[in-house]
């Protein structure tokens, strides 16, 4: 309830300063980033690029990320997508495939791929966390390609002084002068060699208070380093440091999202400098994980950061926002129907016939939430689309859970079916995370 009230206050606050976009009766989704819902690519399948990064080239955004499976954590490849607006994504290819053997062979872990174009050689360099299935063999894998979408050729471990770097979560950062850096969890930072194929110098060692999922950007005279706490795929309140140079001294600045929102239910992965007019807006990119059904149900939280000297913040959660105007969309338009579907019984379903081109589902996520299958049937009753969505979140939230792809105008039936499963997993120490029940709750349907 508290989060619903908070959300209402946020809407009122935004309306008061008239900084919002309204889409009465119109469909805002083809021009908006919608956080926390599966994004559907040009092939009709969820955009599957987690622990991601974006590289911009010739006006095209290339998204690279973990091409997750729905059943196992074993590495199936890293995916590459492209877009001209950060909203509509085309599947390019599996940029790095499962290898026959070695660090990214069968039954291995591959995470957090980061791609940079090396200014000196023109080569595209992909660095990623590789590991065994129990996270006991961490290394940084190196793959290269001559063109941005690949396919990338796996070379082996990135070396520092001839040895692999035996740490896990990683990120990369490319400075304004073209120098490439490898960011490791808990505050180790390496400068890459001019050809980006080795780690040349360890410029920071064990930053006190450092954490997982490192990401960085540089604006004016400051560097900003992001970190998360160690809660496996569970979300936590991420935090950041600032420093006048990468070598330090680094100052822990605290949280950049309101405390207790658990970084709006996400974990940092990358900060993308979004060019808008003459300025750059730094876009936070985070993951909302969903184990075991990560391919279908893990989603993204992307939001612009406010930068004010050493103070960074994302003061409000914008479930839907326009990356062109950088404004939240608070009136979703469409035709709204309130519904009251709440169940934890496998097979129970909400059935909602509609006429239109698109349907959006609004529902509640909470600590005992589970998975549902969302299905769209055509007038003959044939399923033309289905995907799994996740109603779990440690911190409750009412909001958009699903936005269908654009359909041809017609008569359809929406089904939201409780499947009697819930996201849960164990970390390396054997601690239990996630939900313990299977609840699914839908409050509203919007038709466009
Ligand atoms: C943390 C890391 C992820 C992944 C999970 C596995 O969330 O940031 O990249 O390794 O743990 O539990």
Q: How confident is the model over 124-128, as a mean pLDDT? A: 99
**Residue closest by Cα to atom 5 of ligand 1:** 232
Residue with tokens 């996400």: 266
| pLDDT tens-place string over residues 201-250 | 999 999 999 999 999 999 999 999 999 999 999 999 999 999 999 999 99
Q: What is the Cα 362 distance to its own chain's centre?
A: 20
Instruction: Give the atom of ligand 1 at the shortest distance from the alpha carbon of 427.
Output: 12
Contact assessment for residue 337 and residue 344, using Cβ atoms and an 8 Å cutoff: no
Helices (DSSP H) in 249-326: which residue ranges?
Answer: 262-265, 294-297
Contact assessment for residue 284 and residue 304, using Cβ atoms and an 8 Å cutoff: yes
pTM confidence score = 0.94
236 lines ligand 1 (CB under 6 A): no
Q: What are phi and psi of 353, to 5 degrees?
A: -70, 145
Contact assessment for residue 65 and residue 52, using Cβ atoms and an 8 Å cutoff: yes
Instruction: Give the atom of ligand 1 at the shortest distance from the alpha carbon of 213.
Output: 8
Q: How confident is the model over 43-48, as a mean pLDDT? A: 97
Closest CA to 261 of 332, 318, 308: 318
51 lines ligand 1 (CB under 6 A): yes
232 lines ligand 1 (CB under 6 A): yes
What is the reported pLDDT for 428? Answer: 83
286 lines ligand 1 (CB under 6 A): no
pLDDT-based confidence at residue 26 (cuts at 50, 70, 90) = confident
Q: How confident is the model over 130-144, as a mean pLDDT? A: 98
pLDDT of residue 14 exceeding 60: no
Contact assessment for residue 298 and residue 287, using Cβ atoms and an 8 Å cutoff: yes
Q: How confident is the model over 259-280, as a mean pLDDT? A: 97
Closest CA to 143 of 180, 116, 174: 116
In angstroms, what is the span from residue 84 Cα to ligand 1's centroid?
29
Closest CA to 318 of 339, 304, 308: 304
Q: Greater confidence, 313 or 15?
A: 313
């Amino acid at each position: 309830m508290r989060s619903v009230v908070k959300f209402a206050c946020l809407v009122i606050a935004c309306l008061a300063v008239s900084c919002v976009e309204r889409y009465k009766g119109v469909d805002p989704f083809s021009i908006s980033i919608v956080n926390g819902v599966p994004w559907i690519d040009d092939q009709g399948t969820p955009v599957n690029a987690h622990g991601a990064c974006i590289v911009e080239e010739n006006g095209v955004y290339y998204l690279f990320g973990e091409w997750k499976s729905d059943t196992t954590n074993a590495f199936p490849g890293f995916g590459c997508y492209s877009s001209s607006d950060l909203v509509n994504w085309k599947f390019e290819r599996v940029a790095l495939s499962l290898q026959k053997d070695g660090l990214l062979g069968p039954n291995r872990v591959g995470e957090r791929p980061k791609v940079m174009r090396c200014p000196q050689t023109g080569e595209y360099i992909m660095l990623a966390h590789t590991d065994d299935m129990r996270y006991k063999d961490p290394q940084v894998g190196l793959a290269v390609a001559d063109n941005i979408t690949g396919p990338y050729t796996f070379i082996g471990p990135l070396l520092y002084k001839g040895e692999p770097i035996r740490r896990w979560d990683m990120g990369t950062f490319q400075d304004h002068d073209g120098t490439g850096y490898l960011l490791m969890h808990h505050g180790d930072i390496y400068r890459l060699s001019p050809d980006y194929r080795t780690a040349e110098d360890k410029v920071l060692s064990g930053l006190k208070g450092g954490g997982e999922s490192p990401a960085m950007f540089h604006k004016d005279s400051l560097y900003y380093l992001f970190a998360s706490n160690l809660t496996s795929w569970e979300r936590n309140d991420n935090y950041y440091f600032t420093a006048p140079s990468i070598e330090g001294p680094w100052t822990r600045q605290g949280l950049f999202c309101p405390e207790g929102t658990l970084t709006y239910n996400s974990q940092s992965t990358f900060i993308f400098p979004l060019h808008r007019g003459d300025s750059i807006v730094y876009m936070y990119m985070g993951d909302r994980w969903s184990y075991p059904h990560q391919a279908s149900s893990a989603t993204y939280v992307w939001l612009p950061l406010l930068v004010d000297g050493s103070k960074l913040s994302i003061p409000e959660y914008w479930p839907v926002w326009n990356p062109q105007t950088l404004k939240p969309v608070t009136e979703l338009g469409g035709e709204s129907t309130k519904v009251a579907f709440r169940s934890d019984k496998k097979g129970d379903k909400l059935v909602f016939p509609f006429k239109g081109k698109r349907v959006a589902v609004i529902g509640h996520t909470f600590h005992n939430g589970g998975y549902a299958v969302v299905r769209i049937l055509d007038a003959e009753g044939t399923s033309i689309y289905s995907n799994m969505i996740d109603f779990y979140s440690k911190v409750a939230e009412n909001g958009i859970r699903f936005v269908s792809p654009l359909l041809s105008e017609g008569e359809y039936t929406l089904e939201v079916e409780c499947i009697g499963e819930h996201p849960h997993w164990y970390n390396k120490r054997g601690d239990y995370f996630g939900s313990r029940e299977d609840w699914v709750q839908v409050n509203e349907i919007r038709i466009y």
